[in-house]
Each structure stands twice: as C-alpha cells, then as structure tokens.
Structure 1
C-alpha cells in the first residue's frame, strides 16, 4: 500500500471548504463581540491582512495555530466583557488584588505592583480598609487568599 503525497494546490483544494467554514465562523464571532480585524490581529500578534485571509478561508501560514489563537483571544474577550460572577471571572476582571502575607493585607494593582499595605493587627478591620481603599480608588477588587 502506497501513499501519494499531495501537491500544495491539491491540499488547498481539499481543505478549502473547511477553511471557509472556520473563517466564516471566526468572522461571525468577531463581529458579535464588536471587534475589528485590527483588534484581533493586534491581540494575537499577526497582521490584519493575515486575519482577513483567515476569515475568507484562504491559505495562511500556521493555520491551525492561528485558528487556536484567534478563538482563545475571542474567548478571553468574552470572559472579560460578559457579566459573570464566578471567582475566576472576578479575579480576571479585578483592578486590584488583595493578598494576605501572614502579617498584613497587601493591595496590588493588576500589574502586581504593590500600591498599599495595611496592618492594624485586626484582620477583619484590615479587610474592610483594603476594600475601602480599592473602592475609593474607583477599582474592583478580589481577595486572592
């Protein structure tokens, strides 16, 4: 039993319908989330023309990898924009993270830059003060401990 190798043209012809369908679905979701081609391209680190080709079902380099990155990017966008109340979603959306290091409440900006510490000796009071700090700063918060 021998296996014949396909030429590039044969492979493209074989995959064309699958690529068109996948690209159309990707475009539909992108539009549903109110995003531009440029936003998706920037979010996953490729050119806008590559995204345009992918959405039209045309051959693109590393198509499977690009497709995975595209849909993961859209899923991340969905998680950050849809109102949900799971702890994971609250963590992802929080502007501040409040942590307990064994001695004090440590408040960090999302970039993990420490912005305040609180240690009154009363953990319940420290928690209230940490929440108050975040609210006054105009940000959402999440306790990571």
Structure 2
C-alpha cells in the first residue's frame, strides 16, 4: 500500500531511519522526496493494522526498479516479511531488473532472495558497499528471443 497519504508519519520515519542511519533532518528530507517525486514511491506492509515494514523504490529506467530503502519492524523480522515485499515488487509485470545497494549486514538477505551480489568496494570510509541485481525474467524473455 502506498504511504503517500498514511497518517502516522512517525512510524514511517522510524522505519526509514533504520535503513538510512541518518539524523532526523535527513530522514525528513528523504520522506519529502518520496512524497513529492515522480518515479519514487514508498510502500508499507501492514499486519493487524500496524505498519510492519516499508519498501522505498525508484524507477531508474522503463523496466528497472531500484530498492532504495527496505525495513521491517523488529517484532516482525525473521518472518519473511522483507522477502515477501521484495517478491511483490519483483513480480510486477513491468519490472525486468531489480537493483539494490547495501552494506555487509544485508548481503545475505539479498543473496538468499536470488540477487547477484557485486562488491562496489569501500564506497565510504571503512564501509564496503554491494550492488545487488535480480533479473525478474529470463534474459531470453526480456530480449524477445
């Protein structure tokens, strides 16, 4: 469900902060970008009326989607909620390529979800970053072969 009109911005900001490791000002600015920008969307997953997880995406190209933020409430972690959100996005008809950039902590999650993992090296001092890529359809199907 889109979070553009969701009433509890504090719950959204709390989850967004978990995957940004940023101060309140940066979290607020990122939320504003999601709410205002074309090509960016912030989705929420609700369980029993509670915002249990978020997925922030941007459409980089016609059939390419980047997962910019993905977070699950601590009480719901380990119950496949994050994997289900990724699978939902990967299953969209228009999506042929799904990308994410992450750190060492989430590489296992993306690898388990079927993403190819490539090191980007030490993008920030002392922090190795990884590009995660998932082709959602066989290459032959994408190219029309």
With the shorter chain as reference, the TM-score category is under 0.3
User: With structure 1 as the length reference, what TM-score do the two structures score?
Assistant: 0.22
Structure label with greater radius of gyration = 1
Instruction: Choose between structure 1 and 2: higher strand proportion.
Output: 2
User: With structure 2 as the length reference, what TM-score do the two structures score?
Assistant: 0.22
Instruction: Choose between structure 1 and 2: higher helix proportion.
Output: 1
